[in-house]
C-alpha cells in the first residue's frame, strides 16, 4: 500500500477532534441492545431493499479481445481489482479500449460507471460481480473504473480522503451520542476517488456518485478531471489524502464487519439511497436536464461559500478577549 500525503488545500482546522471512534461506537451499540437489535433486524412490516435492475447490457467476451498483460505497478491485478477478468476485458473493449485515446477511453469509462451504477452497501467482491450487479459502494465503483482502465493499458490507482460531513452531523453535535457516530464517519469511512495516468500526469475522477444522487442535495456533478474535494466534499483536516495501488485490507474489514453486525442498517441505508436517486432525478428533470442542472448547481455553490465564510470568521477571532480559568 502506498500512501502519499497531500499539501496545497486550505487548512481547515477541526474545531473538535475527529479521531477514529469505532471503539466508543461499538461500546455504545453494545450498551444499547435495543438499538443494536434494530440495526441487525428489520421489523416485519418494514420495507425491504430490492436491488434495481442493471442499467446496461453485459457484452460477451470473445477470444482475441485486446487487454493489458503487464505486471507493472498500477496496471497489474490487485486486491478486488483484476483487469484480466473476461467480463472486464469485454466491457473495456465495448467502451473503446485500444480504439480511443487514453483520455477519451478513461472519460468514457468514467461516465459509464458514474451514470450507470447505483450505490449499494455490500461486501467487497470481484469487478465482474460488480459489473453483473450494477451496484456497489464507492470502493466497488472505483474498482470497476480502475480495472477498466488497467485493462485498456492505462495506469490507474485509488485515492481516498476523509471528508467533513455536514455540520448537522459533526462538530456541532451536542450530545455525546451524536458526536460518536459523526466522528466514526469522519475518520472511519473515507471517500474514494480514482486517478488515471495520462501522458505522465495523474488525472482524478469521482465516479462513486450518480448525478441523480448529487442532485438530491443540489450539488455540482464532478466531471472527469475534476476533484470532488472542494466541489462536493469539504476535506477533513489533517493529512487524510492517501493514494493506493490496491484497496487496503482494512477497508474490506470495515465493510464486512458492518454487513455482518448491522445488516438491517445497511439495508435501510440502501433504501435511503434509492429514495435520494428518485428525488434527484426529479430535480434534474425540473432543471431541464443534466447540463442545465449542473450549470445551476455550480453557480449556486459559487454564490454560497460557507467554507469561505467560516475561514474568514476563524481568521477574525479575537482570542485576547477570552480567558479560561481552570
Partner 1 sequence: MATPAEIENRSRRLNEKLADYIPPRETWTPADEALFKPPDLLRVPLDEAQELQFKAIKYAFTRHYTYNQFYREYCKTKGVAPGDLKSTDDFDKIPFIPDSALKQHPSGKDLAYWITSIFTGDLSKVVIKGANPTFDDVISAFNEQAGLAVAYSSGTSGQHTVLPRDMKTFLSAEYAMAKIMTCMSDDLLADHSLLLVPKHTQSNLWIAKGLTYQSEVYNDVCYTLDFEISADLARKAMTSEDQRESAPPSAEARGRIIVENAVKWFKRYDKTKDTIRVISPPFLLSQIMDELEREGQQCEFGERGTIITGGGWKMSDDKHVAPEDFRKRIAEVLGIPETRCTEMYVLTEMNGHNHSCPEGHYFHVPHTYLKPFVLDRNFMPVGYDESGRFAFIDTLAGSYPGFIITGDEVRMLEHCPVCDRPGSVLDPVIKRTASAEGRGCSTVLQKVLDRELEAK
Of residues 223 through 262, those in contact with partner 1 by CB under 8 A are 232-233, 258, 262
Cα separations in angstroms, 28 against 34, 170, 264: 11, 17, 17
For the bound state, the minimum distance from the C-beta of residue 67 to partner 1, rounded and expressed in Å, comes to 30
Position 7 contacts partner 1 (CB under 8 A) = no
Q: Exactly one of 65, 123, 169, 290 binds partner 1 (CB under 8 A); which one? A: 169
- Count Cβ atoms below 10 Å from residue 119 Cβ, excluding itself: 21
Position 195 contacts partner 1 (CB under 8 A) = no
Q: Exactly one of 22, 26, 35, 204 binds partner 1 (CB under 8 A); which one? A: 35
Position 20 contacts partner 1 (CB under 8 A) = no
* 70-109 footprint of partner 1 as x/- string (CB under 8 A): ----------------------------------------
**Residue 296: burial class (beta carbons within 10 Å; 0-12, 13-18, 19+):** middle
| 3-class DSSP assignment, residue 94 | helix
For the bound state, the minimum distance from the C-beta of residue 226 to partner 1, rounded and expressed in Å, comes to 16
Position 50 contacts partner 1 (CB under 8 A) = no
**Residue 51 or residue 62: which is nearer to partner 1 going by CB?**
51
For the bound state, the minimum distance from the C-beta of residue 103 to partner 1, rounded and expressed in Å, comes to 27
Instruction: Name residues contacting partner 1, limited to 269-288 (CB under 8 A).
Output: 269, 272-273, 276, 279
* Residues β-bridged to residue 87: none
**Residue 5 or residue 299: which is nearer to partner 1 going by CB?**
299
Instruction: Name residues contacting partner 1, limited to 171-190 (CB under 8 A).
Output: 171-175, 177-178, 180-182, 184-185, 189
Q: Exactly one of 48, 69, 256, 314 binds partner 1 (CB under 8 A); which one? A: 314
**Residue 27 or residue 73: which is nearer to partner 1 going by CB?**
27
Q: Which residue has the cell 484480466?
A: 84
Rg of the chain over Cα atoms, rounded to whole angstroms, equals 21
**Residue 93 or residue 170: which is nearer to partner 1 going by CB?**
170
Instruction: Name residues contacting partner 1, limited to 294-313 (CB under 8 A).
Output: 296-297, 299-300, 303-304, 306, 308-310, 312-313
**DSSP type of residue 201:** E
Cα separations in angstroms, 51 against 141, 226, 270: 16, 30, 9
Angle, alpha carbons 43-25-266 (nearest 5°): 35
Instruction: Name residues contacting partner 1, limited to 121-160 (CB under 8 A).
Output: 121, 137-138
Residues in the chain: 326
**Residue 152 or residue 231: which is nearer to partner 1 going by CB?**
231
Run of H or E residues at 13: none
Inter-residue contact 117 to 141 (CB < 8 Å): yes
Interacting residues of 191 by C-beta distance below 8 A, sequence separation 6+: 138, 160, 161, 162, 163, 208, 228, 233
Interacting residues of 132 by C-beta distance below 8 A, sequence separation 6+: 54, 58, 87
Amino acid at each position: 500500500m502506498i500512501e502519499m500525503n497531500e499539501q496545497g488545500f486550505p487548512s481547515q482546522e477541526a474545531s473538535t477532534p475527529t479521531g477514529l471512534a469505532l471503539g466508543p461506537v461499538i461500546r455504545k451499540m453494545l450498551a444499547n441492545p435495543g438499538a443494536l437489535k434494530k440495526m441487525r433486524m428489520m421489523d416485519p412490516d418494514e420495507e425491504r431493499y430490492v436491488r434495481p435492475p442493471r442499467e446496461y447490457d453485459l457484452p460477451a467476451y470473445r477470444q482475441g479481445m485486446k487487454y493489458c498483460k503487464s505486471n507493472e505497478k498500477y496496471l497489474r491485478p490487485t486486491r478486488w481489482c483484476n483487469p484480466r477478468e473476461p467480463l472486464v476485458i469485454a466491457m473495456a473493449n465495448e467502451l473503446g479500449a485500444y480504439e480511443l485515446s487514453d483520455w477519451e477511453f478513461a472519460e468514457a469509462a468514467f461516465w459509464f460507471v458514474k451514470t450507470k451504477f447505483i450505490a449499494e452497501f455490500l461486501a467487497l467482491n470481484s469487478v465482474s460481480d460488480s459489473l453483473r450487479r450494477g451496484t456497489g459502494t464507492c470502493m466497488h465503483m472505483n474498482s470497476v473504473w480502475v480495472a477498466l482502465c488497467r485493462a485498456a493499458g492505462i495506469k490507474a490507482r485509488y485515492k481516498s480522503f476523509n471528508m467533513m460531513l455536514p455540520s448537522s452531523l459533526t462538530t456541532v453535535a451536542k450530545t455525546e451520542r451524536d458526536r460518536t457516530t459523526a466522528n466514526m464517519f469522519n475518520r472511519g469511512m473515507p471517500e474514494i476517488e480514482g486517478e488515471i495516468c495520462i501522458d505522465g500526469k495523474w488525472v482524478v475522477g469521482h465516479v462513486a456518485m450518480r448525478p441523480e444522487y448529487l442532485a438530491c442535495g443540489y450539488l455540482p456533478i464532478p466531471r472527469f478531471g475534476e476533484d470532488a474535494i472542494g466541489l462536493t466534499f469539504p476535506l477533513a483536516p489533517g493529512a487524510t489524502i492517501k493514494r493506493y495501488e490496491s484497496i487496503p485490507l482494512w477497508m474490506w474489514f470495515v465493510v464486512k464487519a458492518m454487513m455482518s453486525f448491522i445488516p438491517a442498517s445497511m439495508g435501510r441505508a440502501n433504501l435511503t439511497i434509492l429514495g435520494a436517486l428518485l428525488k434527484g432525478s426529479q430535480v434534474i428533470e425540473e432543471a431541464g436536464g443534466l447540463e442545465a442542472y449542473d450549470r445551476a448547481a455550480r453557480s449556486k455553490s459559487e454564490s454560497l461559500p460557507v467554507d469561505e465564510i467560516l475561514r474568514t470568521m476563524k481568521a477574525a477571532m479575537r482570542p485576547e478577549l477570552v480567558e479560561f480559568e481552570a
